[in-house]
Structure formats: structure tokens, C-alpha cells
Structure 1
Amino acid sequence: MKWLSWLLLSWPCVALADEAEMLKYRDFLPAQIASISEEERKQSVPIAYIEATNLALSDFGPDVIQAQLNSLLYSGLADYYGAKRAFQADLGQAVTGELTVGQIHELGYRSERIKLQQVNFFSYGYSHSINENAATLRGTVQIIDEKIAYPINYVTVKCFRAEGYCSYNQIALTLPDRNSWAQTYSVIEVADEFYRITRWEGKQIDATPFTVNRCRTNRLTFNFDSEEFFEVVTNNSVGDCETELGVTIPRLQQPRVSKIIDGTKLMNEEFQRIQTEATGYYASAFRQRLQEKAAKGGRLTKAPTP
């Protein structure tokens, strides 16, 4: 299943068409989306905007939207019209008081995002050990000199000398995407594979997959003495490669090298990025108030003890 990681890494290219549709219908009002023919809606309108339309035109739609505005500290319940206008102003878009499907979707994304700032979904401790007969490695895969598609991941490799193989399992946490209609974290199994040991000398191990992938080969090379644990991906085709799912995997211009590391810092930085992003989604008036108090030396204090 290691091909899945290559697919995820190339996903931005696949998603370009969806981005175009998101842009095309972004400024439509819910009633305008509803008036589009059913055939066009099925073929062209992004699911996210259909969901926004269904929400806005439902009996409880305004109540949900008011609650979402309130969660971002706009006055959604006290001044619904004013809250919508303030939200549009913070987006830097026309202030009309009537939310477009793009704005409704963005509101839903932001209100959910502030709830999803951090999650613990597995233990990701870093460890490695080796003896004459077996070796174990646990950590996080980080692609060198490239942005990894899933920075929050955890891999476990176990090698058995007498049996001549290594088992390789990798799981990852995929983060909510702005254009997704469902704003949730997802845990996926990226790889569950077996590698043939081609070299075991002292505390160094090399291994290649038992199953040959049509597009690329992933080779393991571990040195337990120097604590260097690499994965090297090379091409299996002269040009771009077509997968069984019909997705084209571009040819690598050079080998892709990844290192298995202690991922604690990497993942903490990613969660911090999410938290910083989420904080910026609160109403600008609220953020301005906090900034003014901070500039005056404001701080949190404990209530006095009785």
C-alpha cells in the first residue's frame, strides 16, 4: 500500500479541477444553486456548496448559521444580520448581509476548525533496538527537502534476520481540508508491507519490497550505530506512471529520500500551525480587543482565595 503515500503526495495536482469548480460557484447564493438544473448540480457543483445550500434553505439553517457565527464570537444570536455583515467584512468580501454558499462553507470550516486544534490518536514515541537476530524501529517519516503530505504519521518496522524479512506498518493522521464537506480528522493506514532483507551486516540493514510496484520502488537502509534510518524511493518507469486507479504518478527527477526520526517536534509544530490558523478565525473585533489588552500588559489572573 506504499503507493497510497505517493498518491497523497501528488494529490494537489489531482485536485486542481475541484478548485476551479469551487471558484466558479463560490459567490452563488443558496437560492441560485437551488435553481440550477439537477443535472448541472450533480456534474459540476461541489458537494461542499450543495451541503451549504441544503443547510441555508432548511428550516433550522438560520439557527445553525447563527450558532456558527456565535462560536467565532460574532453576535449571531443577538444581531444575526450584523454578524453576517461583520463576517463578510473579515473575509474582505462584499458586505451584503446575505451569505453566499462559499461564505456559508467557509463559516462552517472555521467554526469546526477551532474545535479541531489538536488530537491524540496514537502513541508516537521514538525508539530503535537491534541484536543478532532482530531489530525494531519506531518513529515518524519525514521527507527530506520536500513538504510531506501527512506530517503527522507513525511507522513501525520489525526485522527478523533468520526469516529474512522486515514488516513495515505506517499510519497517518489526515487533516481537515478547506474544500472538504466533512471537517474531521481521519486516521489511515498508509502502508502494511513486507521487505526482503538484502544485507544485514553488524548493525546495518538494507531491504527491498517483496511486492514490486509498477511506478516506484521503496528501499530501506538502516544504520543503528549512527542512528540513520532512511527510505529511498526510485522510479520503476521511464516516464510518468499510470496507477490502477487511473491517477498519473509523475516521474521523480531524483530519488526521494525520507528519514525516520523522532517526530515529536515535527508534529507539535504542525498542531501549533493549526492552532494559530484557528485563532485567526475569531471575529476581528474580539481579536482586536485581546490585542489592545495585551498591549497594555493584560494578563490572566486567578480568582482570590476565600
Structure 2
Amino acid sequence: MAVDMIVEPKWVVQNFGNIRILDASWTFKPKADVAEYKAKYYNKFGVGMNELKNPEYLAEHINGAAHFNFDIAYYPSEDERFTLYTPEEFSSYVKRLGVFNGDHLVIYGRGKDGGMAAASRAYWTFRYYGYTTVSVLNGGIEAFKLAQGVVQSGESMISSGNYEVKSVDNNILAKMTDIPFGNLASIKYLDARSRKNSSEKFQSDIQIRRPRVFVARMQFTSQSEKFVLQRDSRRRLIVIKLLPPRESRSETLSSLAAESDFRLLPSASPLLVLESLPSCTMEESTSWLTRLHNTSTCESLCYYTRLLYLDVHTYILPFCMQL
């Protein structure tokens, strides 16, 4: 059955009894510790559904909607926040949401931009797993309420379904080997990062280039307390994603950088990019990174060796960095 990619709130209200609704609300939080998550929640969907509840969903959701919880539907890995499960594992989770094969799924989000970012991720996740009878609610729960849709609080009582992934659509996701780095003009690609202000011109300062110009040395997260830097004579680049409130935290890091042999490079919020000066020794780098970690300003911090000097306005984020 062919369905529209986007459905309007009025249509959802009118067809309420003929669709299965999923709430894809997700609250931003620091990436979970990979080892801890794997031990406690990986493929343990019952445990996750009991312990990883979303307060926004509990406070208000469309009547009868199950919560497609990003903290359960995906799992964190070293390189990704939302790593896809195997088809069998994903099927096991979605069955718990009361989804049956053949259901017309309507997915919605909430908040900024009508929650379309979260709803769209959930939508394409189902498409990847070969399920095409799925739509996104235009405008999210806010638009649904304006259309006189019924909402509720607490948890919906949901019986298990029989959803099962039949096959995956590998055309949905592009692999690194699929990207023609030598001829990027032959493809069309979009920068999907949020605009800081829709009225201002959005200029990307992070462009896709050949990833060979960087070699990852290590990843340093808030769960790490010790790390070792390899000795070499190359300059190093530190890429940091700041936690809110970003303006004050950026000022703190700028002050720290001024006291060290690092210099700030042009970058777009919420990223902060620093490069070590030739005079910066390994011991000084290690000491400064420790002080940086103690400020608790970063969600993720990666330390890299810069192998090739680029134009000052163009930087490459290594693909292993979690954004």
C-alpha cells in the first residue's frame, strides 16, 4: 500500500482508527558510555523500556501512541550515537511498540520545527529496514492539538505486535566507499545541520574532503580520565563540541587557550577548533587537555594529527567524531 511521506494533522484526526502512531520525541543528552550501555541495555529492550523513559512523552503524547525511544531503538558505538541494530533485533523492539506488519505508521515529534528532525530520523530508519507504509505527521504534536486531536499523559497500554523486518534497503544509507571524493561534482549532497538563524546566510565551514589528511590518534570523552599522546613533530588539531550554555563555555575555553600554546581557528557553533603551535610540547598538550577536561565544557573531544595544511577557513572533521 502506497502512502504519503507527509500527512497533515487533520487527516490523522479523520483516520485515527486506521493508523498506528509512534511518538519519536527525544531529549538531547550527552552520549552514553558505550561499554556501560552495552552491558546494561544492548538488545535488552524490556529493561530499556522500564528504565529509559522520556519525560516529554510521559507528560503528553497523542492518545494511544507508543514511544519510539531513540535511547532504545538505537545503541551508542564508538563512532556513532545512533547505531542501527540488526534486523532481528530491531524487529524485537518494534514488536513491543504494538506494530503489526501492514500497519500504516505515522511518526511525529515535538518542539523546534515541529519535531521533524526526530520524526524524520525514525521515518528513514523504518525505510532502511524495508518498511514503506510509514508517514511523518506534519507539524508534530503541536499541530495535531491545533487540529483538535486528542492527547493523553502517562504511558499507553500497548499489546505486542508481529512486526518483522523482511529485508533492508541498502540504498538508504551511503557508505564511505560510495562517496566519490575524487569527483564530488558528480553527486549532489546537502549540509543538514541546523541554521543558527534562518534569516542569515548559512555558510558551511566544514566541507567534505578526502579524509586521508587526518589520522585519528585517540578519542577523549567525559568518561576518560587518562590518555597517552603519541610523540611526533606534527601540529595537532582539537575539535570540541560544546555543551550549553555554549557562549559562556566558549569564553572559558578561549581563556584557557590564551594561556597555552594553542590558537583558536574559525569554526561554526557548537564546534570549537584549536590548533597547537609549533612551540607546544607533548607535556604541555597533555597538561592543557587535562585542564580542559576538568572544565566539563565538552560533550566530545577528539585529538588528531594534522598531516596537511589547508586553507584557514576549511577544516575536515574526521568521520569517527560523534556529533
Higher relative contact order (CA closer than 8 Å, sequence separation 6+): 2
Q: What TM-score results when the alignment is normalised by the length of structure 2?
A: 0.26
Q: What TM-score results when the alignment is normalised by the length of structure 1?
A: 0.28
